[in-house]
Structure 1
Amino acid sequence: MPDFCARNASGEICIEATTVNPTRNAKGELVPPPALDTDEQMRAFQKHYMPIRYAGPLTAKLAKKYWEKENVQGRPLIFAIQDFHAPMSMMMSRTALPIYLYGTNWDWSWDKEGKLVITPTKMETHVWGTKEIQSGFFSLPESENISAVISNASATISKFNRIGLIAGFGSKRVRLVRKGTAANPDENSEKPLEFVHEVNSPDYKESWIEGMDVFHNPNAKYPLDPRLFPGAAHHLLRKDGQLESRIPQWQPFASITQIFPMESADPK
């Protein structure tokens, strides 16, 4: 059985959640993640290492055939995945998920007029050491039964801390500072926005769904209605290989939340 089913005025869905976990060797010892000191190492991490890490739990869930369960039949089935394979790994692994799901890498360059050009390139496999897997989760046999894959790099214990503080819980002597990257509204920029937000500020706002990415399966037997996830970023693969992203006005990609104890509570 999937973890839970839900419904609203737009329809019903079923969700099964999974995680990318730390790697252990034959002795049960933790295997450290690869070094990310150079641009080349980062590209290999996003194009090969992380797709392989995402593939493990996703294909394991696919093999469970949850869509055959009576309470799932005829409803969109969604896999939710979070990357916890290393401390702060979600700060760097978001880019790798669509690469694996759609079997496509998107490179950027500038044309003669200085306009940003995105070029999609199909990927057949991902290779890391002796490990090699097929790319394109949404192209695997029976993957048409999965309507979408969702992930949210902001959905960690830090979100509970931030929203709890907003709601008035906890000590007034705690100061939270959130730093990270977010979607850039400048369509001609290849870089995300960088931000620093004071969570204690009366102007700070955050919803539970903020930061969620919904990657729609172009081959889904039961396509997911985006209205089931209002406030999320929805990504759809076009026939030309480009990824169409329908992003909210504010969409954080990844962040860290620093906790500072204050000597006294703010008198306000």
Structure 2
Amino acid sequence: MPSSLFDRVRKVTDEVTDPRFRVLRDHHIHQATRRLMDETFAAFGGADRSFIREFQTGGFSPRVLELALFAALHEQGHTLEHTGGAPDFLLGGDHPVAIEATTSNPAQGASPEADLEQLPQGKHPLVPADLDDAEAEFVLQSAKALRRKLDKRSAQGHAYWQAPHVQGRPFVIALESFHHLSSLFHTVTPLANYLYGHRDVATRDDHGTLVLTSEKITEHRRGDTSIPSGLFAQPEAAHLSAVIFSNSATVAKFHRIGTELGYGPDDVAMLRYGSLPDPDPNADRALEHAYVVGDYGPEERETFSESFHVLHNPWASIPIADGTFSGFTEHRLRDDGLVLTTSDRIDYFTSHTLVLHAPDARTRARGYAERYQATAASPD
């Protein structure tokens, strides 16, 4: 078995490797990323040769998700029990849980990775051209990915939760979206609307105070396609204890954390910018924020647990015990239809990481951060 995720696997030529893998393997700027990914993989004892092959070829994004999820569970102190098969993660200890990871994927025959190679430098479509249509597609693709796992049966005819080593444990599906180049733009909110069958409605009272109420959703539609809302409330989801979601379990997360650990070269710096929740209960817009990775103390460093969300199923036959996923943002449906969200620290809704490669990279990154903050603070 190769000692590194980036060692050539037998019969895997560059012609069949994922273009994102080739950039990660070959480019100087990803020195920190490669080192941290290899360290994570070395600790991830459940992976095998097929993991490396898929990471280098057609399963690049799902394998990055699994690496990031493992790193998050590891930093929370979870121990893994290895079964040699499905599901992907079997947590032991005081809070045993079974987790199967999945992704939403492009339509058969489509290749966003190939499209990415054709885009001009710096023209990655971070924001969908049609926001409403993209959100509708995100919900339908997420639903498809979750249904695929709920419907899957083993050679013995068992669903995941029926396997002998899983019975009695909460069963969880971890999800990330890769069906489109801009699919990571979407936050957890549309997914929560689908899972709970409710959406928040914001209004202002006579005093200008923000008031939230809940509106029931019956279906989600895109064009001629529609699906029923409220997956958690449907009988077939009774064995689904929760869904874990992230839009940030990506190469960029490994790059940022690896840089914070001092693994990167001196001529590479990163600027992270995006939108954060406003702690003001009367706010109806996100805060724009930017920072240079590493310009702070160890206590402020990014964690792998950040950006992971746990959406609890209130109708689950086996609920997840409180405190199981410390560090994840948690969502629970209240009796009034609103969703209670709790988190240990403020987490980005969405963000982008700009990588600079130059002798004065950090100085340039700080200048960009200052200009970004000034623009965000401007009333115009």
- Report if TM-score (shorter chain) is over 0.5: yes
Distance (Å, rounded) in 2 between the aligned partners of 1:87 and 1:93: 15
> What are the Cα deviations for residues 52-87 of structure 1, in whole angstroms up to 9, with x where unaligned?
111101011111221100111111111000011222
The structure where helix makes up a greater share of residues is 2
* 2:185 counterpart residue number: 91
Aligned to 1:114: 208
1:227 corresponds to 2:323: yes
TM-align CA RMSD:
2.3
Which residue of structure 2 lines up, in the alignment, with residue 42 of structure 1?
131
Q: Is 1:78–1:149's contact at 8 Å kept on the other side of the alignment?
A: yes
Q: Which amino acid aligns with 1:160?
A: F
Q: Distance in 2 between matches of 1:193 and 1:181?
A: 5
CA 1:167/1:107 → structure 2, altered by over 3 Å: closer, same or farther?
Answer: same
- 2:144 aligned to which of 42, 56, 64: 56
For the structure 1 residues 130 and 171, does the alpha-carbon distance in structure 2 shift closer, same or farther, using more than 3 Å as the test? same
Q: Report the counterpart of residue 107 of structure 2 in structure 1.
A: 23
SS in 1 for 2:96: strand
Matched, 1:3 2:88: yes
Matches of 1:187 and 1:55, distance apart in 2: 31
Deviates more, 1:68-77 or 1:15-24: 15-24
Deviation at 1:49, TM superposition (A): 2.6
* Structure whose CA Rg is larger: 2
Identity of aligned residues (%): 35
- Is the Cα–Cα contact under 8 Å of residues 198 and 338 in structure 2 kept in the other structure? no
Amino acid at match of 2:90: C
Task: Report the secondary structure of 1:18's partner residue.
Answer: strand
Query: Cα distance 1:79–1:132, how it changes in 2: closer, same or farther (>3 A)?
Result: same
Report the Cα distance in structure 1 between the residues aligned to 2:317 and 2:280, rounded to whole angstroms: 35
Contact 1:6–1:12 (CA under 8 A) maintained in structure 2: yes
Q: State the SS of the aligned residue for 1:239.
A: coil
1:210 Cα deviation from its structure 2 partner: 0.8
Are 1:259 and 2:332 counterparts?
Answer: no
Q: Secondary structure at the match of 2:188?
A: coil
* In 2: Cα distance, 1:191 partner to 1:81 partner: 26
How far apart, CA to CA, are the structure 2 residues paired with 1:237 and 1:121? 13
Q: State the 1:244 CA deviation.
A: 0.7
- Residue type of the partner of 1:18? T
Alpha-carbon distance in 2 for matches of 1:221, 1:184? 35
Deviations for 1:99-138, whole angstroms, at most 9, x for unmatched residues? 1111112221111111111121111111111211111110
Q: For 1:108, what is the secondary structure of its paired residue?
A: strand
Per mean C-alpha deviation after superposition, the further-off stretch among 136-145 and 160-169 is 136-145
How many residues align? The count is 258
Return the TM-score normalized by structure 1.
0.89
**CA 1:244/1:264 → structure 2, altered by over 3 Å: closer, same or farther?**
closer
5+ residue gaps, structure 1: none
8 Å CA contact retained: 1:83, 1:93: no
SS state of the match for residue 257, structure 2?
Answer: helix
How far did 1:146 drift?
A: 0.9
Cross-structure match for 2:21 = none
Pick one of 283, 289, 305 that aligns with 1:195: 289
Distance across 2 between alignment mates of 1:53 and 1:36 = 15
Q: CA deviation at 1:154?
A: 2.1
Structure 2 portions without partners, runs of 5+ = 1-85, 116-124, 153-158, 364-380
Q: Is the 8 A contact 2:312 2:330 kept in 1?
A: yes
3-state DSSP of counterpart to 2:254:
helix
Q: Which has the higher strand share?
A: 1
